[in-house]
Amino acid sequence: MNQGKSSGAPSVAPRVIVPDSLGPGVLTIQQHILHEQQRFPGASGEFSWLLSGITLAAKMIQAKVRRAGLTDILGAPSGEVNVQGEVQQKLDVYSNEVLIHCLKVRESVGVLASEENEEAVLVHQGCENAKYAVVFDPLDGSSNIDVNVSVGTTFSVLRRPAGASLDDPERWVLQAGTEQVAAGYVVYGSSTMLVYSVGNGVHGFTLDPAVGAFILSHPNMRMPPKGAYYSVNEAKASGFPEPYQRYLQRLRSGALGDYSSRYIGSMVADFHRTLLRGGLFLYPPTASHLSGKLRLLYEANPIAFLAEQAGGIALDGERRVLEICPDNVHQRTPLVTGSIEEMYDFMKFMGLRL
């Protein structure tokens, strides 16, 4: 799929004929991807095949999440930590293995990078025909697994840079977020929902367990221009830079309207609410994480891509997240994202150019 960087969403949701078993007018994610692909002359179907690997992995992960507590999948393997120095949960390990397995058999994928692996790795023994790199956080919010709180998966797809050799997989992934050709997340909550964009708006698909397919449930998603919620870990506020502390006081004071604080502690779940309801999601730097805690490539960039495609704004507190040029696979960043009115107010308060 020769993806370009178009903006805005089509005015009419795509309609594709589907088997009678799914009912008239029902659109699966595979059909939606194929429909999008038709916009690009000469598209070969490789990109659609790549994304099918992500949807397959999502179904496998959600099946494990749904059975957490019934099988030996809760808790942490003894003594295991990832490259971030964080204790790995059993579902972290399983989710990472599933995504790698489902993506490495896609011939168009040449490089994979994950939160759980120290370095970006070549797959297919360095196939010259590979065109894409995929970076992902296999299970965001995994510390919430054992208490039955929503968790998620984030992913970003990048095109192989011109002239990038098979001997330098990091070059494939160390690209600014503006170079993403697709990004999205899966939230495993009361239902399993996959939200993604290929640069032509944001679309949400809910997994129908009766047929085992992701069905288009939220076409052309747009973030409300203003919301009634802000989401931040206020227990850490004393460690935020002073301007952030003053801005949180502004939100609490009612200067911008009546707000309620909502914080789940799973980034995907907190952003998903922000996407649907509007408002602000803030993950500032702290005394213990001066550069921020979220990973740029596979957490902040996918969220920022979706936020902008849905009509919102995403900053690192000073600049557009998608314009940051990474220098390592696990680079961290602060993140402030949300509705346009709240973000304009934040930018004005912080003295940033509108």
Work out the percent of the chain whose per-residue pLDDT is above 90. Answer: 69
Output the six-digit token pair for 129. Answer: 């025909």
Q: What is the length of the chain?
A: 354
Q: Give DSSP secondary structure letters for 204-257.
A: EEEEETTTTEEEEEEEEE---SS-SEEE--GGGGGGS-HHHHHHHHHHHHTTT-
161, 65: one domain: yes
127, 245: one domain: no
Q: Is residue 13 part of a domain?
A: no
What's the mean per-residue pLDDT of the chain?
Answer: 87
Q: Where are the alpha helices (DSSP H) in the chain?
A: 29-37, 46-66, 90-104, 169-173, 242-253, 267-277, 301-309, 340-350
Predicted pLDDT at 194: 98
166, 265: one domain: no
Q: Is residue 6 part of a domain?
A: no
Distance CA 93, CA 90 (A): 5
CA atoms within 13 A on the CB side of 199: 18
Distance CA 134, CA 136 (A): 7
Stated pTM of the model = 0.88
Predicted pLDDT at 343: 98
Picking from 220, 251, 268, the residue at the C-terminal end of a domain is 220
Read off the pLDDT of residues 123-163 as tens digits, 9 standing for 90 and up.
876 677 889 999 999 999 877 777 788 999 999 999 999 98
**CATH assignment of the domain containing 172:** 3.30.540.10
Q: Is residue 314 part of a domain?
A: yes
Its domain, for residue 290, covers: 229-350
Helices (runs of H) and strands (runs of E) counted in the chain:
8, 15
208: Cβ contacts below 8 Å, ≥ 6 apart: 214, 215
92, 172: one domain: yes
Q: How many domains does the chain have?
A: 2
For residue 16, pLDDT over 70 is answered with: no
104, 125: one domain: yes
Picking from 158, 188, 220, the residue at the C-terminal end of a domain is 220
184, 322: one domain: no
CA atoms within 13 A on the CB side of 333: 33
Output the six-digit token pair for 49. Answer: 């095949």
Q: Give DSSP secondary structure letters for 17-29.
A: ---GGG-TT--BH
